[in-house]
Amino acid sequence: MLDALRRARHDLSRAELSTATGLSAQSITNIVRRLVERGLVDEREPVGSQGRGRPAASLRLDPAGSYAVGVHVDPTVTAVVLVDLTAAVVAARRTVAASATTPDELVTAVAAAVTEVTAGVPPDRVLGVGIATPGPVDTGAGVVVGAPLLPGWDRVALRSLVRDATGLPVVMHKDTAAAAVGELWHDPDPADFVFLYLGTGLGAGFVVGGELLPGSTDNAGEIGHLMVAPDGPPCPCGQPGCVGPSGMPRTLVAEAAAAGVLDPLPHDATDRRVDAAFSALCARAADDPVAHGILARSAGRIARAAVTLCNALDVGAVVLGGPAWSRTEPVFLSIVRDVVTATTEARRVHEVDVRGSALGDDAAVVGAACLVLEHAFSARPATLLIR
């Protein structure tokens, strides 16, 4: 019932809820009473009626019924948010970058931020903490397994570290998967899409039939080695033209420096310094044809990867988001849309919508909080456990 109320775009009557869930009217009455008593559902009596009979009361989720914390661990910044039961952000904080600190120091900073965002909220209404982290991950053990963009983060038991530091239940997933779940919570239509995550690195989340496709070990979406341009930048795998380096801010900043658009950065420049230079490159693209061309070339390569994914999964949409999205959207969106619209194999059967995420740059951190809501209230039995 909670899932049905969450997915509805308007308040539901008991009769509509019965139709949506398949439950009998008596079951609806009994369950609604318990949910109202627990503060999870708000039942509003009608104000008036234009016709005969008493109009039906309306049911909606009570935003203050429960809360969840989301944490996004990223090489450039660690974000922490608190969302309510409708997944609306109530409070937010930013803290140290993962690439500039140790895991223990990061967890200490995260715990402090969690305390700040949950201040004033009844402790018994905070369901837990969701963590979105670069992959690969071992979600069964709650471990970050040697994330390529986080040097030194090898077999870090992040879930247990955060659980012990906060005293809250914790669920963990890849940032790309979390972003896709967040998109589902905020915009359930269409039910089939590829989420292209643009950040320090590039990845994807897959949703088919309204469900996340996590893969056999929850590591689906590592698309960085899709070949998109034989003349593209070199990849650590030894082959040129992989989409991962083609879309990375560090690569694009280096290309901009080589073209004279930006001052060169030292080889060992920190991720935050690269990110600042990337912001400068994106800002210059509005007026500088060379800067625009660098981003446009990257967008074309990412678009080719998007087409491959659309052809493989036959999805109805490509959604772009992540920490780099708002800076790249003015160049990327139209290019990706044009390429996908013109070249997907199923275009004669159905359109593929290409759009920016409803959550924009905050897709992963809000999605991390939505992981908690998903695990607590999902109608799918396999997810009803927070480790």
Shared domain check, 11 and 107: no
Angle at alpha carbon of residue 231, lines to 228 and 233, rounded to 5°: 80
Is the pLDDT confidence value at 9 over 80?
Answer: no
146-194 confidence digits (pLDDT tens): 888 888 888 999 999 999 999 999 999 999 999 999 999 888 676 899 9
Residue 54 pLDDT: 58
Amino acid at 301: R
How many structural domains is the chain composed of?
3
Shared domain check, 131 and 83: yes
| Residue that terminates a domain, selected from 61, 86, 110 | 61
Shared domain check, 136 and 197: no
Residue ranges in 259-321 assigned as alpha helix (H): 271-284, 289-313
Is the pLDDT confidence value at 284 over 70?
Answer: yes
pLDDT-derived band at 380, boundaries 50, 70, 90: low
Shared domain check, 170 and 22: no
31-51 confidence digits (pLDDT tens): 888 989 888 888 887 655 555
Shared domain check, 309 and 206: yes
Taking the model in full, what pTM does it have? 0.90
CATH number at residue 273: 3.30.420.40
Shared domain check, 136 and 150: yes
Shared domain check, 112 and 13: no
User: Beta-carbon neighbour count of residue 305 at 10 Å?
Assistant: 25
Domain extent, residue 243, equals: 190-357
CATH number at residue 15: 1.10.10.10
- Gyration radius of the chain over CA positions: 22
204-256 confidence digits (pLDDT tens): 999 998 889 999 999 999 999 999 998 888 888 888 889 999 889 999 999 99
Is the pLDDT confidence value at 387 over 50?
Answer: no
Distance CA 75, CA 57 (A): 48
Residue 53 pLDDT: 54
| Residue that terminates a domain, selected from 39, 61, 83 | 61
Shared domain check, 92 and 21: no
Residue 385 pLDDT: 42
Is the pLDDT confidence value at 314 over 70?
Answer: yes
Shared domain check, 376 and 341: no
Is the pLDDT confidence value at 379 over 70?
Answer: no
133-146 confidence digits (pLDDT tens): 998 999 999 999 98
- Nearest CA to 387 among 183, 157, 220, 211? 157
Shared domain check, 205 and 317: yes
Dihedral angle computed from the Cα positions of residues 378, 72, 84 and 375, in that order, rounded to the nearest 10 degrees: 20
Mean pLDDT, the chain, rounded, equals 91
Shared domain check, 346 and 200: yes
Shared domain check, 74 and 32: no
Is the pLDDT confidence value at 90 over 50?
Answer: yes
| Residue that terminates a domain, selected from 45, 61, 77 | 61
